[in-house]
Chains A and B, each alone.
Chain A
């Protein structure tokens, strides 16, 4: 199918005065109401810039203002906000092209934020806007087009026969909205996929045109169902065209400094990457065997962290499959280049069976989530699920964790072929998993039920199939409704907090403390863990304020990193970031202010949760599978470890105790430990024992907007 822009039905358009970025900011955002097809500019006030910085901060602020306490994910006033941040779009420092997307999540009911590559965000910024709000619901399927060179915003009716799946849709739209062949790289498309029409775990695909592959690639704003919100608004795609990115499109205060800091990291990567993470060859899949070796690679719904079959999907397997020696960055100038792909991959199932496609990935989370966690050690199966998840617009993490839950339910006889429309969900059967995915995309059969996610299913099986309620709760790997990402957190209390003492649910964006805590035992006390659960979430939030990727922070390190104090923080890179911020914005940034920038937004987000009726202590507990052995055979498989802990840490002699007793003793102990951790973390973060930021703390950090204080004061006074 080909598509000509001229043949599309134009519904509305408006012109806008092109702005100019000054020191990283436009000081202007764009609001689009899908219902009335109106596009309105909003000025960014100095106060908004000071308190929210940019990126996720701007996104959350605009989302707060646009919604109410009663707003749900499918309310017309719910928004999708795509925001960038001052550092976003520079081409010198690797990892500088991220868009931050926020929305009220269909999975959790609270704001989700997702960090994504692709060209849309930087192009939108250079088109004159620091953020884009999409609000309201369109009367018909709509394509929104922003031409940053023309200063033009257009609304088109999406043709009825346009393909819904991203690998076709984004390709078609890229060609339709590019001026000519030479203009293809100037077009970036945000779209979902057919799966997002039928499941709350729908994602957004952000495209980039790959000149060497002569086709589009996609990066995912994967978590929390923002693609589902896009489809609920009847938005088929949002397109931004911008031609003319150059070294100083950000109008940096000191462009030479941006070059110098960026080139320093480029060189560090070129020199050290092969000796460190091999991101340029393997991407994040370099982690596979490391995680398997340390008993951290999710296996059978996080029951175990290791399997002898692990090496079958190790990094070296992926290195052979991934195309090599390509500049696979998701934004210009990212020499860490982790956005690899498997090219000319022949599909074995589904509507595109027999076709050769380009598979974006797999990243670590995908290879673990739809691989080992499903007991799938066939790289082909992983790639097939990876491809279809992407093109259907389904989050691989939520999908993987949900199917692993289903497979465990199958193992325990809660599910059978009569309940799955004939699909065999035995461990390792990737063809069963992918059948669910195809059905989900078609909106039929068991796929629709399965697509509702782990939280829903765990309750559904109790109600409909009489499954044991406690068991279902224990093995449903979700927090707040969002599926946990793919690390075993059982032996790291700090990581349990890293996952579950989070604003948006268990992801690995905020804190990854397993090595520091479990392997290296650097943070043994509750206070030390709490300090880490303060510093790292705050520091990592900062990437989202700036439009940065976190990977070049610690997936590449200076060769002498270990000799500095606190090597876990990669101090030289923190210094790079502060310098880079100053070079672009012209404003100094002390280490304390860096953390404060994040702390304001982090506490704002927590208070946002409170406003929506969440943000209680009870919302922050993990399912027990994330904390310890649920089942007796799970205990027995690591009996030596657990028995030793019982003797040394709990002070109980395991001798003569039944496995059932030992499971119970371990469980009681670990639950208590977690409670103590919450106490310490909430205290360190300046929150009440129930998890609400205190008005005093909000004032101290400068998040003292009256509407924010009012929410905290109301909760403190015992209100909802």
Chain B
């Protein structure tokens, strides 16, 4: 699966990634609307948060299946199906599923790479990893309950 790999030690907190991301998807420069979060964790130390595409708790929790896994393994949101309940935001263990107050739909990193180009320190990159037990849990659950003739 494709995902945004982060390397906190290289990050200098310039916010270039957040700026590029929010401009790409919200047409404004606003770190609160970025799908990658840059958190200061002490003097000159930063922690980057973006969806690792792997746990898929949000996919499991979504009542309308607006959140699905794409062919490349990326968790994506279909806004026309989303009812904005924010259950996905609550179950995300790393707060990578975001929302902006008053906006109807949540948002998350889809490993598009826009931020990678904006990073001067190569602290982020688009990488590949294998599916894991955790990443396939949502499929196993459905297989247990879906109508048998279709399962």
Contacts and interface: CB of A to CB of B under 8 A. Distances in A.
A266 B86 contact: yes
B145 A213 contact: yes
Contacts, number: 94
Interface stretch (A149-157, A241-249, A631-639, A690-698): A241-249
Residue among B87, B147, B148 having the largest count of chain A Cβ atoms under 10 Å? B87
A266 B147 contact: no
Interface residues of B, number: 29
Given A247-B105, A332-B64, A212 B83 contact: no
B41 interface: no
A170 to B, nearest CB: 15
Interface in B22-81: 60-65
Given A255-B102, A256-B101, A325-B141, A332 B83 contact: yes
A356 interface: yes
A217 to B, nearest CB: 11
A327 interface: yes
Given A256-B101, A259-B99, A326-B145, A269 B90 contact: yes
B101 to A, nearest CB: 4
Nearest to A356: B148
B105 A326 contact: no
Interface residues of A, number: 36
A467 interface: no
A256 B102 contact: yes
Interface string A255-281: 110011011001101100000000000
Nearest to B141: A325
Contacts of A335: 61, 87, 90-91
B101 A259 contact: yes
B121 interface: no
Contacts of A91: 83-85
Nearest to A244: B80
A168 to B, nearest CB: 14
Secondary structure class of chain B's binding surface, majority of residues = loop
A211 B147 CA distance: 10
Contacts of A343: 144-145
B82 interface: yes
Contacts of B91: 266, 270, 335
A92 interface: yes
A333 B86 contact: yes
Given A213-B147, A333-B63, A335-B87, A246 B104 contact: yes
Contacts of A260: 101
B137 interface: yes
A269 B60 CA distance: 16
A78 interface: no
A263 B90 contact: yes
A323 B142 CA distance: 10
Residue among B62, B83, B85, B90 having the largest count of chain A Cβ atoms under 10 Å? B85
A185 interface: yes
Contacts of A327: 60-63, 87
Contact of B147 (A215, A247, A333): A215
Contacts of B102: 255-256, 259
Contacts of A263: 86, 89-90, 99
Residue among A213, A329, A333, A358 having the largest count of chain B Cβ atoms under 10 Å? A333
A92 B144 contact: no
A215 B151 CA distance: 13
A156 to B, nearest CB: 27
A333 B83 contact: yes
Contacts of A320: none
Contacts of A92: 84-86
A323 B83 CA distance: 24
Interface in A109-147: none
B16 to A, nearest CB: 28
Contacts of A358: 145
A14 interface: no
A266 B84 CA distance: 13
B85 A262 contact: yes
A325 B137 contact: yes
Contacts of A325: 60, 137, 141
Contacts of B61: 327, 335
A699 interface: no
A344 interface: yes
Nearest to A333: B85
B14 to A, nearest CB: 29
Interface string A208-228: 000111110000000000000
23 contacts: A92-B86, A212-B65, A213-B147, A245-B83, A247-B104, A248-B104, A255-B102, A259-B84, A259-B99, A262-B86, A266-B87, A266-B89, A269-B90, A326-B145, A327-B62, A327-B87, A332-B83, A332-B85, A333-B86, A335-B87, A343-B145, A344-B148, A358-B145
Given A259-B84, A263-B99, A266-B90, 18 more contacts: A92-B86, A211-B65, A212-B145, A212-B146, A245-B83, A247-B84, A248-B104, A256-B102, A259-B99, A259-B101, A266-B87, A324-B141, A327-B60, A327-B62, A327-B87, A333-B83, A344-B145, A356-B148
Interface of B: 60-65, 82-87, 89-91, 99, 101-102, 104-105, 137, 141-142, 144-148, 150
**Top 8 closest pairs, chain A to chain B, by CB:** A247-B84, A333-B85, A266-B90, A256-B101, A91-B85, A256-B102, A247-B104, A343-B145
